[in-house]
Structure 1
């Protein structure tokens, strides 16, 4: 009887905002808003994803479909935040590589990354991890890396792997099928002793966060071009990486990647075709947009007064405090405007462990006056004073088996307290920077966003699968913060010398 193929999977999944003040340390990996256990080893890595819709869930499904042994080594994922400490990469990365050595040999490796990790030592931490994996397994073992659409794809990532497979959707709803694509490729590599020809093209341009939704133009056109290329004769795979604007690294920007049956020239032709067409549309692909906080709140209040009853809330998307892009989660610009303009039916989260401690001391049912938010740094507003009744105290854990951005299922907001303020807004104070990607976050606390006039979601695209089905209207608000949609508000030092829109005269010359 033939021996089953053994395929290992490991990953350190992080989206690093190098402009964020909250650094990513070992303590950060003790708790994650994205998953119940920030660091998962062995069977726990398997168990936590089997019923989710993540890349690992896709690997598991593929192993069952194709009857190979999937060996889960380690998977670490915590909330997007600032630069990763050297200790994190040395410790977690070192453990992953030790496991790879100790539990091998393997027939192939699946590296499960986000693709925008930046450590103190390695600006391209994903590429460095891939390099070390390749060093251990040698040149003949197939290695594939799955990536988030927001990856800043590097040449090192492309060189150290045999295939890169990136989500095609934002909101990210295709992690599972992309994982199947990665498995199909490496299984063919193993069984046919074949490797695809590959090419990575990196036009000097950044796609603005306001244009990241792949369901609408202009980003839809880029994905449509990718789909066209995937139908070309001989093309066996391909991806685009939107890039992650808030990482000050050389690779920041759009990446176009193609795999061909046997021709590097044809792979290059395919990748460059996508890149040239995106470049010709670069102005439309970077357009900071949206009302200011005062304008957005005024508009939402006006709409709330005239919209039909039970027609859903006005959802304001807080761009500058995009938790899923590494912001603080405690911005108060919109909340301050809510109080100033007299908003009453208002629901949102604020990350504030200090205020939570004060609430725990006071106790459930008590009335408290407390300053919330604006405590991480000077980028996200000032603390806002509220007086209100403490109505809920929770461990902050909730589960969503539905359609969730990137397929996450088990969330952990840490100790969570709800205050129904005398001023009007209802605030869920959370401990972790858990994103607003699931309505279960509020359902688990006994509140239904559908019953409020205005709901704040700290994100741009990731909250849409949760809130679009119930929203009367969704409005992206051009708030300040560590994830501002305006790149001119940041001081970039390490990106390419000529990168659009930082350089409006940037040139792209392809062969």
Structure 2
């Protein structure tokens, strides 16, 4: 069997003005096992090993990934798409195409990049080739996406710790389909909800476990929840259940409705709009707790397209003279450059953060000590039963101002793990407060060092409550949380 694999992944925030361009992408090309510029979004290693173990030929085109941000320029998207399609054309005929996409990619002139990719691939390979797609759970699902593919599998976990596991599942389903062992059919159910739903706490933890259990039912091949991406103003935005059944469309539809209705019943209990605290409440609680407290700065999360340079939480910590606190990763390439030039141990005057726009707050004029620095730091994102994914944070420095130690990076990167502090010689377990700029991906790693975790909805570019966003194309009036 001949298997072709490729991927283009971007989470596009339509509320961010700065476009995503070709220079923002990290692109891996080459055969499986070749050196990777970044292993953060790649599945070619997993799929390549599975293909080898089954005696299949495996051809890898490219994996292109960019940090979430504004919509892509037309030329950027078309250049990446057309390179992938040219590789596919050269590889024909193929038995299976595996696509590692995101599901929330938008470009100028293309509101649904994934559907456009799928349409071109199907027209090129014909109806007999099996097309399997893996999507991020913050995807936009619609009938167009599922019509031209054989099977879609979506991450189940938020934080996304199961990327490799879902990729392996997709491979097995696609191969089984080509061999005629299964005949997947898919059904969608619109849950009538918009929000961000972490899967580490109940009742969402139990809901995900029930999805996994349902995959053991006769005739059910896969159960997924596409959470949607609330920072994209498009008509099909929102949570949807996707069920893949074995040649039984009615069973797929009934199961999707079963789980979608169950999720809707949990709507008042699961969204961050109901659990996130204001900046004042979150940081005040943390400051009064004698134990280490993690306070997630959700609204300034680069993983949702935010600039990562908000100073609001840092200003509060400094004004309240909080001792022994840490904050990461604040994006400010100019300050990183100044600190590196000054050198270790130097005391310097900097204007830190607050440079991108009003949502970032004002810059802070500070006197800081340069504690440590690293070049080209790759920040690990822990995965379940797999090697960590790594994301580029650029050059990073640790600065101390008053009682706060601040990790500053030259590239936008959300904080996935306290290892960024450890790498710079800071013991995160000895801090009183840690503020990672992240919505939920921080959770798995930070939960290993503290049971005290607070979610903070400070003012920012990516508020966890979707009611703070000004939608113009999406109609929210009939969906939760607008309609209770």
**TM-score bracket, shorter-length normalisation:** over 0.9
**Pair 1:302 & 2:282 matched:** no
Task: Select 2:359's aligned residue among 379, 403, 425.
Answer: 379
Task: Select 2:296's aligned residue among 295, 299, 317.
Answer: 317
How far 1:161 sits from its partner (Å)? 0.9
Aligned residue for 1:284, secondary structure, equals helix
User: Which position in structure 2 is the counterpart of 1:204?
Assistant: 192
User: Which position in structure 2 is the counterpart of 1:156?
Assistant: 144
**Pair 1:293 & 2:279 matched:** yes
How far 1:143 sits from its partner (Å)? 0.2
User: Which position in structure 1 is the counterpart of 2:247?
Assistant: 262
Take 1:101 and 1:476, find their aligned partners in 2: how far apart are those partners?
A: 47
In 2 relative to 1, CA 50–89 (structure 1 residues): closer, same or farther, beyond 3 Å? closer
How far 1:60 sits from its partner (Å)? 2.9
How far 1:458 sits from its partner (Å)? 1.0
Take 1:10 and 1:366, find their aligned partners in 2: how far apart are those partners?
A: 47
In 2 relative to 1, CA 157–314 (structure 1 residues): closer, same or farther, beyond 3 Å? same
Q: Which runs of 5+ in 1 are unaligned?
A: 30-37, 308-312, 506-511
How far 1:73 sits from its partner (Å)? 0.4
How far 1:368 sits from its partner (Å)? 0.8
Take 2:381 and 2:455, find their aligned partners in 1: how far apart are those partners?
A: 26
How far 1:7 sits from its partner (Å)? 0.7
User: Which position in structure 2 is the counterpart of 1:27?
Assistant: 23
- Tell whether the 8 Å contact from 1:197 to 1:261 is kept in structure 2 after alignment: yes
**Pair 1:390 & 2:378 matched:** no
**Pair 1:168 & 2:156 matched:** yes
Take 1:404 and 1:424, find their aligned partners in 2: how far apart are those partners?
A: 35
User: Which position in structure 2 is the counterpart of 1:445?
Assistant: 424
Kindly indicate which of the two structures has a greater share of residues assigned to strand: 2
Figure out how many residues of one structure are paired with residues of the other and give that number: 482
How far 1:236 sits from its partner (Å)? 2.0
How far 1:46 sits from its partner (Å)? 5.6
- Tell whether the 8 Å contact from 1:56 to 1:179 is kept in structure 2 after alignment: no
In 2 relative to 1, CA 140–462 (structure 1 residues): closer, same or farther, beyond 3 Å? same
Q: Which runs of 5+ in 2 are unaligned?
A: none
- Tell whether the 8 Å contact from 2:29 to 2:61 is kept in structure 1 after alignment: yes
How far 1:469 sits from its partner (Å)? 0.2
- Tell whether the 8 Å contact from 2:41 to 2:389 is kept in structure 1 after alignment: yes
Aligned residue for 2:118, secondary structure, equals helix
Take 2:191 and 2:385, find their aligned partners in 1: how far apart are those partners?
A: 27
User: Which position in structure 1 is the counterpart of 2:317?
Assistant: 338
How far 1:81 sits from its partner (Å)? 1.1
User: Which position in structure 1 is the counterpart of 2:265?
Assistant: 280
In 2 relative to 1, CA 23–404 (structure 1 residues): closer, same or farther, beyond 3 Å? farther
In 2 relative to 1, CA 284–393 (structure 1 residues): closer, same or farther, beyond 3 Å? closer
**Pair 1:488 & 2:467 matched:** yes
Take 1:168 and 1:49, find their aligned partners in 2: how far apart are those partners?
A: 26
User: Which position in structure 2 is the counterpart of 1:32?
Assistant: none
User: Which position in structure 1 is the counterpart of 2:4?
Assistant: 8
Q: Map 1:43-82 to 2 at 5 A.
A: 43=31, 47-48=35-36, 55-82=43-70
Task: Select 1:103's aligned residue among 91, 108, 117.
Answer: 91
For normalisation by structure 1, the TM-score amounts to 0.88
Aligned residue for 1:427, secondary structure, equals strand
**Pair 1:244 & 2:240 matched:** no
In 2 relative to 1, CA 267–44 (structure 1 residues): closer, same or farther, beyond 3 Å? closer
User: Which position in structure 2 is the counterpart of 1:435?
Assistant: 414
For normalisation by structure 2, the TM-score amounts to 0.93
- Tell whether the 8 Å contact from 1:166 to 1:241 is kept in structure 2 after alignment: yes
Aligned residue for 1:168, secondary structure, equals coil
How far 1:320 sits from its partner (Å)? 0.5
Take 1:39 and 1:50, find their aligned partners in 2: how far apart are those partners?
A: 8
> CA offsets, 1:260-318, max 9 Å, x none?
22121221111111112222333334443332222222221211xx33xxxxx311100
In 2 relative to 1, CA 72–395 (structure 1 residues): closer, same or farther, beyond 3 Å? same
Take 1:280 and 1:52, find their aligned partners in 2: how far apart are those partners?
A: 35
Q: Which moved more, 1:489-498 or 1:67-76?
A: 489-498
Q: Map 1:461-472 to 2 at 5 A.
A: 461-472=440-451
In 2 relative to 1, CA 23–499 (structure 1 residues): closer, same or farther, beyond 3 Å? farther
User: Which position in structure 2 is the counterpart of 1:310?
Assistant: none
Q: Which moved more, 1:78-87 or 1:443-452?
A: 443-452
How far 1:107 sits from its partner (Å)? 1.1
